[in-house]
Amino acid sequence: MSSGEVRRTERWLASARVSLAIAALIAIWMDPGSIHYSIWAYGFLAFYIAQGVIIIIFLRRRQQSTPSFRLLVHSADIVWPALISIFALGGSNPFFLFFVFVLAAAAYRWGLWETVGTSAAAVSLLWMESLSVYWGLLAWISGFLPRHNLPALRVDSSFFEPRGLFMRSVYLLVLGFLLGYLAEQQKQLRAERVVIARTISRARVEAGVTGTLQAIMGELVSLYGARALLLVSQEVNSYRIFVGELSRSNGETNFRWLDPAAADREIFLNDSAAAACYAERNKAGQDGEFRLLALDGEGMRLNEVSPEFLTRLPEKYEFHSLMMVSFTFGQEWRGRVFLLDPTLAGETEEELHFLQELIKQVGPAVYNVLLLRRLRLRAGAVERARFALELHDGAVQSLIAVEMQVDVLRRQSASKPELVTTELGRIQGLLREEVLKLRELMQQMKTLDVDSKKLLGVIHDTVERFQRETGISARFISDLREIDMPQPVCRELTRIVQEALVNVRKHSRARQVLVRLGAKGGTWRVEVEDDGRGFPFSGRLSHSELDNIGRGPLVIKERVRLIEGELTIESNPGQGSRLEITVPQRQGASHG
């Protein structure tokens, strides 16, 4: 456990210690005869409560709990119940639960053998007290205290009668073993979950399939202390075999894909009922080449499985033992993972179960990386095709037309020199228009990384660049100083402003443009207003009305719909138009 987890655990135990002591006080208040009205029992119990309170205060002031501090507290937890139990009646001892608490604390802090050791220490103290009663030491102390004007101990010696004490000792030892065993299994399960989570976290789209596999296989080699790992996969549709090898030397791992061979399927992927197995090579003279422990796909042990599917593996790799587990990636890939010469810390079957569970959990993560990489490649191909079409139908065609016009102008320059100036001006305008289109296309290709902190600056720069490149007077006004807007909304609003300005340049013939950002009535508002020729309709239309009549900019409408917004267009033909986009400030789960 981390230092923070240890500190929280100690605080929980300290709170439970105080609660248990208070419950004991209530129990003896209801039945005072259970401790013979001994002031010493109340004193020890008060010290126990004070110890718990001091530990709580100490843990609140300190940032960490040291092992020596925990051991000291635990030792005190063992001693106090033994001392308080001296005063309790054997048949109604309210303090026996204190022993149960200290056993649970040992199991919670550590594990099996520490808990068994705690129960053995508690039993030893009880028998030492029994011997002190038998030898008369407690009786001598009981007589000594009144002679010095101190309260008598009022010890109940029946609690230390050998037969009853023997049964309590057995209870404590058995309880200590059971609590420790359960705690050990729980911690092992927790550790396995941590390992699985850490291994799954190695699956990253940015690293690609090979990088992800290398990171995960490195985890497996480190986890099992294996000398090498083999990853063999087969594409179901084409039956192609891929073999990857990760070897370890001098603490470093090296991964490489091997050239496929015709015999790879027979060597690595021979059919077998075993989904996971541990194989150990027999010594010379023993029957068979391998001793095999195999599990099926559900983790059940297989008693009669032939090791023949491994017989050709030693032809290619030297090993003394190996672990093998099968995997599938969707409906497309299947294969096996081989760990050569692993070091097993626990029972072989349990180690196989864990490896099988680990591969089952990691497999979908790797497959998701594969699918996402495919989607990115396909999306990139589609996007490249779209830009190629834009270039072919736009800039390339325009440049070809300009080239033809320049050629015509060159031929006519000698006979009609008066046309040169006019035609050059028109060609210059065409080239300027194509430059603007190319810049807009490049702007769309850029990855837009904008959040609420950058939004105002990005929109301001967009408007300034629009004015500088087009000569159209443009202003940006923001009614907001600080914005708390989800990143997807920021990104889409920026794209909407860019698209609106492109439309103004292409279609409106405007001289002035105003972009305004504000908030009203629980919504964010973006307005783009120009004094151009407007849309081919008059009046104010909502998003649904624009859809019904098939009007309005399609790209902007789709982007507004993505962020659950509303588009309204007000148009006055010949005098200008105004786009108003409202977005609710409470975004739904679609934006993560």
Euclidean distance between CA atoms 3 and 477, whole angstroms:
51
Q: Would you state the pLDDT for residue 332? A: 79
Asked if domains 214-370 and 447-591 share a fold, the reply is no
Q: What sign does the dihedral 448-453-455-461 (CA atoms) show?
A: negative
pTM score, two decimals? 0.56
Report, in angstroms and rounded to the nearest whole number, the Rg of the chain calculated over CA atoms.
40
Evaluate if residue 517 carries a pLDDT over 90: yes
Number of Cβ atoms within 10 Å of the Cβ of 239: 8
How many helices (H) and strands (E) the chain has is answered by 16, 14
Which of 1.10.10, 3.40.50, 1.10.260, 3.30.450 would CATH assign to domain 214-370? Answer: 3.30.450
Per-residue pLDDT tens digits for 325-361: 998 877 778 899 999 999 888 888 989 999 999 998 8
At the second CATH level, the architecture of 447-591 is: 2-Layer Sandwich (3.30)
Per-residue pLDDT tens digits for 386-430: 666 666 666 667 777 777 777 777 777 767 776 777 777 777 777
Residues 320-340 as b/e (b if ≥16 CB within 10 A, e otherwise) read ebbbbbbbbbeeebbbbbbbb
Task: Give the residue extent of every domain in the chain.
Answer: 3-197, 214-370, 447-591
Nearest C-alpha neighbor of 575 from the set 512, 490, 503: 512
Evaluate if residue 157 carries a pLDDT over 80: no
Evaluate if residue 549 carries a pLDDT over 50: yes
Number of Cβ atoms within 10 Å of the Cβ of 419: 13
Per-residue pLDDT tens digits for 440-494: 666 666 556 788 888 888 899 889 988 888 889 999 999 888 888 888 888 889 8
HEC states along 57-103? Answer: HHHHHCCCCCHHHHHHHHHHHHHHHHHHHHHCCHHHCCCHHHHHHHH
Kindly list the distances between the CA atom of residue 94 and the CA atoms of 50, 90, 359, 420, 456, in Å, as whole numbers in the listed order: 19, 9, 51, 113, 70
Euclidean distance between CA atoms 364 and 133, whole angstroms:
66
Euclidean distance between CA atoms 180 and 102, whole angstroms:
12
Find the mean pLDDT for residues 219-233. 90
Quote the tokens at residue 7: 């500190």
Find the mean pLDDT for residues 159-175. 81
Evaluate if residue 91 carries a pLDDT over 60: no
Extended strands (E) in 358-498 = 473-478
Contacts of 85 (CB under 8 A, 6+ apart): 93, 95, 96, 98, 126, 129, 159
Quote the tokens at residue 316: 């290619």
